[in-house]
A and B are shown apart, each in its own frame.
Chain A
Amino acid sequence: MGKRSVIPFGPQHPVLPEPIHLDLVIEDERVIEAIPSVGFVHRGLESLVDKRDFNQMTYVAERTCGICSFQHGMGYCEAVEHIFDVDIPIRAKFLRTIWAELGRMHSHLLWLGLLADAFGYENLFYQAWRIREKVLDMIEMTTGARLIFSVNKVGGVIKDITADQLRIIDGTVTEVEAELRDLEQVFLEDSTVKSRLVGIGILTKEQAHDLGCCGPVARASGISCDMRRLGYAAYSMLDLEPVVATEGDCFARCKCRLYEVYQSVDLIRQAITKMPKEQELAVPVKGNPNGEYFMRLEQPRGEAYYYVKGSGKPFIDRLRIRTPTFANLPGLCEMLKNTELSDVGLLVVTIDPCISCTER
């Protein structure tokens, strides 16, 4: 038995885009235990409900996270719409679905790049982000912004996607798919990549279930859970089968996210064909929210909860967000046990941590 010592990891670390701190208990080069601590970027967004009315909160909710911003806004709006008990126009539902899937594509491509960067494959990182840029261009073309879309409102959406733009989206997602198929060869078959990913940080199905993991982390361990099947937005009208892998290692998580990009491409195509033509984009909502609702939705990183409670005043009483990274942190600590110190950075990246939304 070697000598035990504790090494602090983060909050500033080259592999981390955001600050999280882990205390790693190591024995020689082997991690015995990891103790996380968060709280470096708490902004108190939830408490802003006292100062911003329920319409303005849409923009606050969107700013919970820079990458899944659209889905945060959508989760909040859907929760409030349920409290009002309004049914938004079908076209608005489809538009939300298209934007949500474009968001998922750019998030997963971003992650693939970060993963490549974490195992030191700089070229692959550039290529993934080059492809991602096309998705961002589509988002900018349709919403006017690259990351914070600001197109949701309580009752529907603000902007429409024109027929021309839909054609461009259709063409571009096909291009993205073709280019990613080339890169897939590298991600899934290159021996240097495999040597860093296969068999590292295994999380079994039981562990993933017991620790309450969600999203791609759970799916890579063989749990077939996908909140999109709950049928919010227009997902109830689309065919969707969760992407599941069984190995539970880093390679499986990479594979899941990669295939989910194709799934998103497929969902966008389905949405474009099934979308009703001309229609209203939003229904007016009158009065103030009175009641509570618990909204669950599938973000790129996993399942997020939105709890909204209002009591007939313009300012809602409570907004509570549970983000997917928070649910995946116990899984991360389990994965880190018995791994090499040099793999810690990579393992942290494979849960796709989004610390800013965890701390809000």
Chain B
Amino acid sequence: MGILKYAPQALKNLFLPPVTTSYPAVPFEYPEGSRGHIEIDIDDCIGCGMCVRCCPCGTLSVDRIKGTWSIDRFDCIACGFCVEKCPKKCLHMAKGYQTPGGEKGSVTYTKSPEVLAAEEQKRQEAAAKAAAAKKAREEAAKKKAAEEAAAQAAGGAGAAAQAAGGAGAAAAGAPDAGKAAPAGGV
């Protein structure tokens, strides 16, 4: 009988429990490695911007100085490319999807104050070091110029006066160079 082919399945259905679960009363278990949304260990981020450049949707932005990382979750397609590219491995995919919302907008993650303070200190130290190194270099140059001037002074008085003027100009330039050094260190 061609018409009764479905009967065994229909009978089975009478006695089997439902195939579907009563979500949300019974919560859904996501499998391991589910690509739900991106999470960041913001304190490990070095602000290199690799994730920003590789994202196919252009949804990310980072600010290295302020220590922030932002994502518009509605633009993210959860492709996981940024996770693959991040050199510090501080991005990962977590379970649970982005819930619907009324409007789009970026979520910004900021580094904790301690980490920011530590980084700021490091930056200042580096800047100070750079400035000190520069000063040392300049002093060495000044000394050398003075020595040359002294050597030339033996040759002629007119040349000596010229050399002294040059040394003065170098000294006047030094404070400016000192100011520029922190910016170079950032």
A182 touches B8 (CB 8 A): yes
Which residues does B use to contact A, with CB under 8 Å?
2-3, 5-6, 8-10, 19, 31-35, 54, 56, 77-81, 84, 93
Count of inter-chain pairs, beta carbons less than 8 A: 63
A189 near B2 (CB under 8 angstroms)?
yes
A124 CB–B CB distance under 8 Å: yes
**A191: which of B2, B31, B78 is its contact (CB, 8 Å)?**
B2
Q: How many angstroms from the CA of A40 to the CA of B6 in the assembled complex?
A: 39
CA distance A185 to B1 in the complex (A): 11
- The answer to whether A158 and B84 have CB atoms under 8 Å apart is yes
Interface string of A176-199 (1 = CB under 8 A from B): 000000110110011110100000
- Jot down 30 A-B pairs with beta carbons below 8 A, ordered by A: A52-B56, A55-B54, A55-B81, A56-B54, A56-B56, A60-B56, A63-B77, A123-B6, A123-B10, A127-B9, A133-B19, A140-B31, A143-B35, A144-B33, A144-B34, A148-B77, A150-B78, A150-B79, A153-B84, A158-B80, A158-B84, A182-B9, A186-B9, A189-B5, A190-B2, A190-B3, A190-B5, A191-B2, A191-B3, A194-B2
Shortest distance between the CB of B9 and any CB in chain A (Å): 6
B6, B77, B81: residue with the most chain A Cβ atoms closer than 10 Å: B6
Q: Say which residue of A56, A123, A145 sits within 8 Å of B35 (CB atoms).
A: A145
Q: With A and B bound together, what is the CA distance between A201 and B34 in angstroms?
A: 43
A130 within 8 A of B: yes
Q: Which range contains the number of A residues in contact with the other chain?
A: 20 to 34
Q: Which residue of B lies closest to A140 (CB)?
A: B31
A307, chain B: closest CB distance, angstroms = 21
Write out the residue numbers on chain B whose beta carbons fall within 8 Å of the beta carbon of A186.
5-6, 9
Q: Residue among B3, B10, B19, B33 with the most chain A CB within 10 A?
A: B33
- Pick the contact of B31: A63, A141, A158 (CB < 8 A): A141
Q: Is A59 an interface residue (CB 8 A)?
A: yes
Q: Is B6 in contact with A56, judged by CB distance below 8 angstroms?
A: no
Tell whether, in the assembled complex, residue A192 and residue B79 are in contact, meaning their CB atoms are under 8 Å apart.
Answer: no
- Known contacts A52-B56, A60-B56: A150-B35 contact under CB 8 Å: yes
In the complex, per-residue mask of A122-159: 1 if CB is within 8 Å of any chain B CB, else 0: 01100100100100010011011100101001000011
Cβ of B93: which chain A residues have Cβ within 8 Å of it?
144
How distant is A52 from chain B, measured CB to nearest CB, in Å? 6
The answer, among B6, B34, B35, for a CB contact under 8 Å with A190, is B6
Hey, which chain A residues are within 8 Å of B56, CB to CB?
A: 52, 56, 59-60
**Residues A59 and B81 in contact, CB atoms below 8 Å apart:** yes
At the interface, is chain B mostly helix, strand, loop or mixed?
loop
Residues of chain B within 8 A (CB-CB) of A189 are: 2, 5
A199 CB to closest chain B CB, in angstroms? 16
Shortest CB distance A358–B (Å): 22
Q: Does B5 contact A145, Cβ atoms closer than 8 Å? A: no
Of B3, B9, B78, B84, which one neighbours A145 at CB under 8 angstroms?
A: B78
5 shortest interchain CB distances as A-B pairs: A191-B2, A144-B35, A56-B56, A190-B5, A59-B79
Once bound together, how far apart are the Cα atoms of A148 and B81, in whole Å?
Answer: 13
- Chain B residue at minimum C-beta to C-beta distance from A123: B6
Give bound CA distance, A56 to B35, whole Å: 18
Nearest chain-A residue to B95 (Cβ)?
A144
Contact A150–B80 (Cβ < 8 Å): yes
By the criterion CB–CB under 8 Å, are A130 and B19 in contact?
yes
List residues of chain A with CB within 8 A of the CB of B3: 190-192
Supply 20 further A-B pairs (C-beta < 8 A) apart from A123-B9, A150-B80, A159-B33: A55-B54, A55-B81, A56-B54, A59-B56, A59-B77, A59-B79, A127-B9, A130-B19, A141-B33, A144-B33, A144-B34, A144-B35, A153-B84, A182-B9, A183-B9, A185-B5, A189-B5, A191-B2, A192-B2, A192-B3
Q: Which of chain A's residues has its CB closest to B93's CB?
A: A144
B10, B79, B93, most chain A CB atoms within 10 A: B79
| B-side contacts of A158, CB under 8 Å | 80, 84
Using Cβ atoms and an 8 Å threshold, which residues of chain A touch B77?
A: 59, 63, 148
- Closest Cβ neighbor of A145 among chain B residues: B35
Complex Cα distance, B85 from A153, in Å, reads: 12
A124 touches B34 (CB 8 A): no
A143 to B34, CA, bound (A): 7
Residues of A within 8 A of B81 (CB): 55-56, 59
With A and B bound together, what is the CA distance between A7 and B32 in angstroms?
Answer: 51
Closest to B53 in A: A53
Contact partner of A140 (CB less than 8 A), chosen from B34, B78, B80, B84, is B34
In the complex, what distance in Å separates the CA atom of A63 from the CA atom of B10? 38
What's the nearest-Cβ distance from chain B to residue A259, in Å? Answer: 18
B-chain residues with CB within 8 Å of residue A141 when the two chains form the complex: 31-33
Shortest C-beta distance, B89 to chain A (Å), equals: 14
Cα distance, A145 to B35, chains bound together (Å): 6
CA distance A150 to B93 in the complex (A): 13
Q: How far is the CA of A140 from the CA of B97 in the complex (A)?
A: 14
A192 to B5, CA, bound (A): 10
